[in-house]
């Protein structure tokens, strides 16, 4: 299977017909049929590596201040308990979790990519205590799942500064600031070169902290990059910025 990272952006993309939702639909049409999907979402960020072990994971509405229509969205994909146990085998220290479900980092994308919700979906949490290189190593440990028909999906944003984005939205300013454009461009170069060392630390310097005041939306990229092979072809099926400071770039790795 390929490996995929998607910039998910606003949860409103789940119910709006816009450039991003249409791009998610197109991406779904282009992907091979997976046996299951394992998603690393920016929105399950805390202590430990945990895997959803639910037979029927709940659709989580992990946000506030959005229209009722968004709160009513359901994504009733099944889980896969056997696969969850397989993920725990691959990741030392990981554990099963039945208290979480599918958050909007997962379903706001999959409702377009897989609108029938007919493929098992699991989530893997992000351990906030780990440095970048260890997240990359966890992605590498997940790589065998690709040969088992599992689509590994990271969901975040390569640039994600909400304070800047909200300020631009209030001012009606859609310009992408130079620091955001340069961070995104350098990430693109590193992705094309399979430069895991750069990617693992890019969010940690001053410019990286401007692109990511908190690292939660960046770290899913490291799981995708870690699960990729050095020989994989790298492509960017989605590019561009939303609200100036949210990179919507998607990254696809194909063997």
pLDDT digits (tens, 9 = 90+) for 81-100: 999 999 999 998 999 999 99
pLDDT beyond 90 at 174: no
Rg (Cα) of the chain, in Å, rounded?
17
What per-residue confidence (pLDDT) applies to 116?
98
Please give the residue range of the domain that contains residue 160: 3-254
How far apart (Å, rounded) are the C-alpha atoms in residues 159 and 252?
A: 17
- Domain total of the chain: 1
Buried b (16+ CB within 10 A) or exposed e, 114-131: beebebbbbbbbbbeebe
Residue 70 belongs to domain with CATH number: 3.40.830.10
Beta pairing partners, 50: 95
Burial of 231: CB neighbours in 10 Å, binned 0-12, 13-18, 19+? exposed
Mean pLDDT across the chain: 97
pLDDT digits (tens, 9 = 90+) for 117-150: 999 999 999 999 999 999 999 999 999 999 999 9
């Amino acid at each position: 299977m390929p490996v995929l990272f998607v910039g998910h952006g606003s949860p409103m993309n789940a119910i709006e017909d816009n450039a991003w939702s249409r791009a998610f639909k197109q991406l779904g049409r282009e992907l091979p049929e997976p046996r299951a999907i394992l998603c690393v979402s920016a929105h399950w960020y805390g202590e430990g590596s945990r895997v959803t072990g639910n037979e029927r994971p709940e659709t989580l509405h992990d946000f506030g201040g959005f229209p009722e229509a968004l709160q009513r969205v359901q994504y009733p994909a099944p889980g896969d308990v056997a696969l969850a146990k397989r993920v725990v085998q691959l990741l030392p220290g990981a554990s099963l979790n039945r208290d979480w479900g599918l958050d909007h980092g997962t379903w706001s994308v999959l409702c377009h990519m897989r609108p029938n919700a007919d493929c098992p979906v699991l989530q893997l949490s992000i351990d906030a205590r780990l440095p970048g290189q260890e997240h990359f190593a966890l992605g590498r440990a997940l790589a065998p799942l690709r040969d088992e028909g599992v689509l590994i999906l990271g969901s975040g944003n390569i640039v994600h500064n909400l304070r800047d984005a909200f300020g631009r939205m209030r001012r009606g300013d859609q310009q992408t600031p130079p620091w955001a454009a340069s961070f995104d461009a350098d990430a693109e170069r590193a992705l094309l070169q399979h430069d895991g060392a750069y990617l693992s630390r890019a969010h940690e310097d001053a410019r990286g902290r401007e692109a990511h005041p908190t690292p939660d939306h960046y770290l899913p990229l490291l799981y995708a990059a870690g699960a990729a092979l050095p020989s994989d072809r790298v492509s960017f099926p989605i590019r561009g910025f939303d609200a100036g400071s949210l990179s919507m770039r998607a990254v696809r790795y194909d063997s």
